[in-house]
Amino acid sequence: MTEPAAILTGDLIGSTDAPEALEATMARLAAAAQEIARWQRGSARFTRFRGDGWQMRTDPELALRASFYIHACLRASEGLLNTRIAIGLGPVGSLGSTDLSDAQGPALTASGHALDRMRRTRRFAIAGADVDPRDEIIVQLIEDIVLRWTRPQAEAAALALPYPAPTLEEIGQKLGITAQAVSYRLSAGSVQSLRDAITAWEDDRSAREAP
């Protein structure tokens, strides 16, 4: 039985030069996958491979939110590595026995090929079923925003992106700052514009996935 899914495939940047950061970064990715699983219908099935490579599964409409949430989590934590992320959309015939290491389907193929083809200057890519130039442009525009984040902006974004959307006061309590200071960080990082773009994309993707 096949079902639509998004497969995120990534590899860590600079792991050869900073091997001491590898395990901590993978642990943070695993924690992010647990949070992403809370947004959707099932496990993200976080899978590590080839030393500094990783994969996880999301519902198709959550692929962008999950990808940029992961980036925010890593950018927010001092001493962690960054990652490239390739999103593959499409059917998945099997999600594997215990993780994605033996999973099969077009979404996995599209994700792997997109990562292999990604230019070294890029951090995000999207490919697969029903992906068109609009999707690619949205991903690139959001990439331009998130790569400019300071660490405090990324820290606030990592708390603002999950479902359900928290209040400024709730984010401030976690960061130990005022709601006004949270608002400033989110505004400086264009996080509200990013959330609006992601939400519009999610609505469009959900409509495309509808039977």
> According to the model, what pLDDT value does residue 41 have?
79
> According to the model, what pLDDT value does residue 50 have?
78
CATH number for region 3-149: 3.30.70.1230
In this structure, the chain runs to a length of 211
- For 123-175, write each residue's pLDDT tens digit: 999 999 899 999 999 999 999 999 999 999 999 999 999 988 899 999 999 99
Of 112, 111, 93, whose CA–CA distance to 103 is shortest?
93
pTM of the model: 0.95
Helix and strand numbers, DSSP H then E, in the chain: 8, 5
* CA distances from residue 14 to 1, 84, 120, 176 in whole angstroms, order as listed: 39, 11, 12, 31
> According to the model, what pLDDT value does residue 33 have?
98
List the structure tokens of 166: 């928290």
Of 73, 40, 39, whose CA–CA distance to 54 is shortest?
73
**Integer Cα distance of 14 and 5 in angstroms:** 29
DSSP H or E run through 86: strand 82-92
Instruction: Phi first, then psi: give them for residue 3, nearest 5 degrees.
Output: -145, 150
| Spatial strand order in the sheet of 82-92 | 47-49, 53-58, 3-13, 82-92, 124-128
Which of the residues in the chain have pLDDT under 70? 1, 211
Contacts 24+ apart (CB under 8 A), 42-49: 45/95, 45/96, 45/99, 45/100, 45/103, 46/99, 47/96, 47/99, 47/100, 47/101, 49/101
What burial class does residue 185 get, using C-beta atoms within 10 Å of its C-beta: 0-12 exposed, 13-18 middle, 19+ buried?
buried
> According to the model, what pLDDT value does residue 129 have?
83
> According to the model, what pLDDT value does residue 68 have?
98
Pairing of strands 82-92, 3-13: antiparallel
Q: Which amino acid is at 32?
A: A
Listed by start position, the domains of the chain span 3-149
- Helix-, strand-, coil-residue percentages of the chain, each rounded to 5: 55, 20, 30
